[in-house]
Structure 1
Amino acid sequence: MEERIYLDHAAAMPVHPGVARFCRQFPDGFAGNPSTIYREGLQAQEAVATARERVAALVGTSAPDSIIFTSGATESNNIAIRGAALRNRKFGKRVVASATEHISVLNPAKDIQKGGFALTLAPVDRFGTIDLDALAAAVTPGTVITSIHHANNEIGTIQPIREVSAIVHEQGGLLHVDATDAAGRIPIDVERDGIDLLTLSGNQLGGPDGVGALYIRPGVRVQPVLVGGGQERGLRPGTENVFAIACMGEAARLAGEEMAGESKRLAAIRDRLIAGITGIEEAYLTGHPEERLPHHASFRFSRIEGESIQLAMDMLGIAVATGSACTSRTLEASHVLLAIGLAHAEAHGSMVATLGRRNNMDEVPRIVGAVGETVKRLRAITPL
């Protein structure tokens, strides 16, 4: 029996073997609250401080204290959007986001409209790249925060963050960047690129689930979303998850060391995969053909449903996605694919393949063959 092939690293990444080894170094019975000052507490403080330094190094900030740890990217996005908007409302009550943002950005941005904020969704082109002219028209002096992801999780398109930053800062606003899918894949430098707030996920770096981080540029004021103790500069109250935070720090360190070589390796596999699958009749690449994440290949197929593709590929031993894992259960057309101009029927026929360290070039023929077989069989029985 052939081994399964896992191609949904955008939804969940296996823990990096080096992180797993690091985690096993914690002794049995390890305990320590970083808010205490006895030996165990000081050891926990040191573990968290080291992780903070490693995450800071990955994103290019010279200020480790600008990193706060959270339960994951969704919480980081909520703190960034809600916290920045509410704390700085005296400067304006307008929020701008791209039309292709992750739902954990769009929903908080929509929710604060109940408090009187106005939300504008900036359009993207057919490749999913932000329309800079439209963004410039949307961002006004009253726009308190603008959120543009570094790269899209469904179509892999990388955004021109430096150009976006210049537009936002010209009007005096704050720029939030969701880098969940970009971190560890492409270089990030928050200081060079003018990023005020940046979201990270521990799992997407090859660390454990249930931990994330938010970079907040020194001087930027953010209101807590939760209230409690004073942990994480008062912005994320609650006893720190020391074990998960330490492991995320190690994942960040390894991602920084391995990014150049691993991204080059995965890009070669990605390109071979794209060439093979787009050779199938009525199969089309979605996202930018060049400015895309090195591990990301996304497609649409005419006259078949993405859920059917996913199930059929699973039967053949290959795990793929159809849209975002956070929205795929809704059975609605992807808002990302609609935003790049696809019709509802076209948007329903999507397949996303995201590669990881266990994937290799030898798997490509089997994947392409399975996709071809799946598409042919489903089209033979589809009523579309």
Structure 2
Amino acid sequence: MSTSRPFIYADHAASTPLAPEAWEAMKPFLLDNFANPSSLYALSRPAKKALMAARETIAECLGAEPDEILFTSGGTESDNWALKGSVPLENAAGKTSFVTSKIEHHAVLRTCRAVEGMGVSVDHLPVNGQGEILPEVLKERISGDTRLVSVMLANNEIGTIQPIRELAEIAHAHGAVFHTDAVQAVGHIPVNVRELGVELLSASAHKFNGPRGAGFLYVKRGTPLTPYLDGGAQEFGMRAGTENTAAVAGMAAALKKNCTEMKETAAHLRELEKRLLTLLAQSGQPFTRNGGRRRLPGLLSLSFPEKNGEALLHRLDLHGICVSTGAACDSQKTQTSHVLTAIALPEPLAVGTLRVSFGRENTLSEAETIAQRLDRLLKMQDPVFRPSSSSEVILFRPS
């Protein structure tokens, strides 16, 4: 990120800036090549070819086949489709239950609530203190009635990476389909669907420097799944609606760049988090880092005892530093994060949690600035930084 910019953006787990390569790939389809890719005349051919090329690019990045990539509007739609599309299947007779975890994104958790209304029972697996799902726990809870297991590849709040391959093997041993919400992982860590052994995988472009409003669902060949939208025959007859050619082209270009530069980017992000953690430790401020042994690079969930995380966030914002307290999708609510509750983080630490998530544009100087500014705020005795005795969060109010 250029040092001339008036802010430091350290909330890449919420959304990422559009890659220049993505913008260049999108521009032709926002201007001259505007035709419907399903039309039969010559003007539509560039759009049709772009969709085919994007499908091939994404498939190559994931170790999939092009016809296994179905374009959607983003991660939420992909999750909804994977779960709801697995319910009304004739060949799933007798398999009436789903298994998921307590730390899933709300796109999965609330969809599970919806499928319960469709006659499916849902079991929510617990996690340990690092947010890890232990394979032996799944072995104890899964049964012959289990139709689908849905476990996220990497958590969006604390960064913990799950042992998906081992979990998928357990699911398959019981005849269940495995879905993983990989929205926070794709483009940031190596993701190969064959090696993971999953049948369904969700992803969203804006999490890996692509445009908002675009995503995909990987569906392994032969996996039973009902169409999500009725209408035309787009996406192999599985999802009706004219494709967003510009967004799809941008998504593929962004993912290609991220996959090509993944190793170098991850090393850079590790350096940024190491610098921030070192400076905070040297300051003498007590804090806890949340998450498992295997975490996403550049994502830090930090808990400061007896502090008010949201108040710290607002004061940092006044100084041009963008961080979060957790998932952006639920940031308007003030209750404790369900992820922090699931890992049994004590309330005094949970309410004092900040999430700092770096991107490739961030610099060591910016990491140092965040650490220094945070240190000054933590040392202040202003009561606004103390947690409220009620369930409401006290926000910073400038005088």
Equivalent-residue separation in structure 1 for 2:17 and 2:46 (angstroms): 28
Say which of 202, 209, 214 aligns to 2:205: 202
Q: 1:378 to 1:48 in 2, by over 3 A?
A: farther
How far 1:27 sits from its partner (Å)? 7.1
Q: Which moved more, 1:274-283 or 1:305-314?
A: 274-283
Q: 1:340 to 1:111 in 2, by over 3 A?
A: same
Equivalent-residue separation in structure 1 for 2:279 and 2:135 (angstroms): 33
RMSD (Å), alpha carbons: 1.7
Q: Which amino acid aligns with 1:130?
A: I
Q: Which residue of 2 aligns with 1:83?
A: 85
How far 1:295 sits from its partner (Å)? 1.7
DSSP-derived class of the 2:246 partner: helix
Equivalent-residue separation in structure 2 for 1:117 and 1:238 (angstroms): 28
Q: How does 1:302-313 map to 2 (within 5 A)?
A: 302-313=305-316
Say which of 283, 289, 302 aligns to 1:285: 289
Q: Which amino acid aligns with 1:50?
A: A
Does 2:124 correspond to 1:117?
no
Q: Which residue of 2 aligns with 1:191?
A: 194
Q: How many pairs align?
A: 382
Residues 111-141 of structure 1: CA deviation (Å, up to 9, x unaligned): 1101111111111111111122111112211
How far 1:41 sits from its partner (Å)? 2.1
Q: 1:285 to 1:144 in 2, by over 3 A?
A: same
Say which of 52, 57, 60 aligns to 2:60: 57
Residues 175-233 of structure 1: CA deviation (Å, up to 9, x unaligned): 10111111111101101220110011111121100000000000001112322212112
Say which of 250, 268, 272 aligns to 1:265: 268
DSSP-derived class of the 1:237 partner: coil
Q: Which residue of 1 aligns with 2:101?
A: 98
Q: Which residue of 2 aligns with 1:328?
A: 331
Equivalent-residue separation in structure 2 for 1:48 and 1:22 (angstroms): 12
Say which of 231, 247, 266 aligns to 2:250: 247
DSSP-derived class of the 1:86 partner: coil
Q: Which residue of 2 aligns with 1:21?
A: 24
Does 2:73 correspond to 1:71?
yes
How far 1:54 sits from its partner (Å)? 0.8
Q: 1:95 to 1:172 in 2, by over 3 A?
A: same
CA contact (8 A) 2:151 2:179 kept: yes
Say which of 170, 176, 179 aligns to 1:176: 179
Equivalent-residue separation in structure 2 for 1:143 and 1:284 (angstroms): 37
Q: Which blocks of at least 5 consecutive residues in structure 1 are unaligned?
A: none
Equivalent-residue separation in structure 1 for 2:351 and 2:387 (angstroms): 14
CA contact (8 A) 2:201 2:219 kept: yes
CA contact (8 A) 1:304 1:378 kept: no
CA contact (8 A) 2:98 2:147 kept: yes
Percent of aligned pairs with the same amino acid: 36
Q: Which moved more, 1:279-288 or 1:25-34?
A: 25-34
Q: Which residue of 1 aligns with 2:136?
A: 133
Equivalent-residue separation in structure 1 for 2:42 and 2:181 (angstroms): 37
Equivalent-residue separation in structure 1 for 2:98 and 2:339 (angstroms): 19
TM-score by length of 2: 0.92
Equivalent-residue separation in structure 2 for 1:137 and 1:86 (angstroms): 26
TM-score by length of 1: 0.95
How far 1:36 sits from its partner (Å)? 1.4
Residues 318-376 of structure 1: CA deviation (Å, up to 9, x unaligned): 00011100112111110000000113443222100111121011222211111112222
Q: Which amino acid aligns with 1:65?
A: D
CA contact (8 A) 2:61 2:256 kept: yes
Say which of 364, 367, 377 aligns to 1:364: 367
Q: Which amino acid aligns with 2:287?
A: A
Q: Which amino acid aligns with 1:72?
A: G
Q: Which amino acid aligns with 1:166?
A: E
DSSP-derived class of the 1:251 partner: helix
